Amino acid sequence: MTTLAPPAKSAIAKDFGAASKTYNPAARLQRYMGQVMLDQLQEGQCLQGTNAGCRVLDLGCGTGWFTDQLADMFNGSRDVVTGADLSPGMLDYARAAGAPGIRWLAADAESLPLKDNSLDVVFSNLMIQWCRHSSAVLAECRRVLRPGGQLFVSTLLDGTLDELRQAWHRADPGQEHVNQFESEAGFRSQTLEVLPEHRITTESIALDYPSPLALLAELKAIGAGFKGSSRRRSATAPGRLRTMCHHYPKGSDGRIHATYRAAWLTCHLPD
């Protein structure tokens, strides 16, 4: 697989900020993967009678969809829940739409402006795949978590959107149109460097769409369009787009599906 230069953080922040108003209705995958972690968190020690004192960070909070739910989960203790994101546009939306009392923080996940041992829970849903180095983000999470703290991270791995990638390769050889994601082996290796006591589970998720154009529209709506440095600055020629749609595998009913290689990382730090 060709290695592409990672997208600039400014481009990531801009793309997601521009999608703040369209994100929630289109975020099917994000809601599913975040709910898996909420269910896991509900079984954790921090919610067994002592959650009132827990301090919680939603890292890569986006529109604040899960930040609000985390605040409700922790007995309405909104003053102890922080939503952090790289994108000012996303934070503006979250601040306006979110419940009062939640703290909102503009922050780079690879260099968090938070004290050591200051949090009990870090929750991060489908953010880390946009960062240059998973290990740097995980090291920051470990730094800010107290002994006994809990980490919940979801991400996407290599194999995600392979149907779209292959259709584009046939339509526009030599030009990348789909974001690349870390291999499972690479993610496991980077995690092991920082969190020897972790657990990773994976799942292939197939989402259904009426057409390849509907898939592209959903990716744009959530700000997850192609971000590589090699992306064209002008619009894709209609002929190439039609050719990609022609080569995308379809079911007998004409609908398509897109595969997402999902991974969940959980870690309960030693006391």
Residue 107's φ and ψ, nearest 5 degrees, are -155, 145
Please, how many CA atoms are within 13 Å of residue 71, restricted to the half-sphere of its CB? Answer: 21
Q: Is residue 253 part of a domain?
A: no
> Is 139 domain-assigned?
yes
This prediction's pTM: 0.92
Q: Are 56 and 263 in contact (CB under 8 A)?
A: no
Residue 104 belongs to what domain range? Answer: 9-160+180-207+260-268
Question: Is 203 part of a structural domain of the chain?
Answer: yes
Q: Does residue 231 lie within any of the structural domains?
A: no
Query: What pLDDT score was predicted for residue 44?
Result: 67
Query: What pLDDT score does 98 carry?
Result: 86
Q: Give the pLDDT score at 42.
A: 87
Q: Indicate whether 234 belongs to any domain.
A: no
Instruction: Specify the number of domains making up the chain.
Output: 1
Backbone angles phi, psi at 187, to 5 degrees: -65, -40
* Residue 49 confidence (pLDDT): 46
Q: Which residues of the chain have pLDDT under 50?
A: 1-4, 45, 48-49
Q: Does some domain include residue 37?
A: yes
In a domain, 251, yes or no: no
Q: Cα separation of 116 and 73, whole Å?
A: 24
* pLDDT the model gives residue 53: 72
Q: What is the pLDDT of residue 73?
A: 87
Question: What's the CATH code of the domain at 105?
Answer: 3.40.50.150
Q: How far apart are CA 48 and CA 107, in angstroms?
A: 30
Q: Is residue 31 part of a domain?
A: yes
The predicted pLDDT at position 237 comes to: 81
For position 143, what pLDDT does the model report? 98
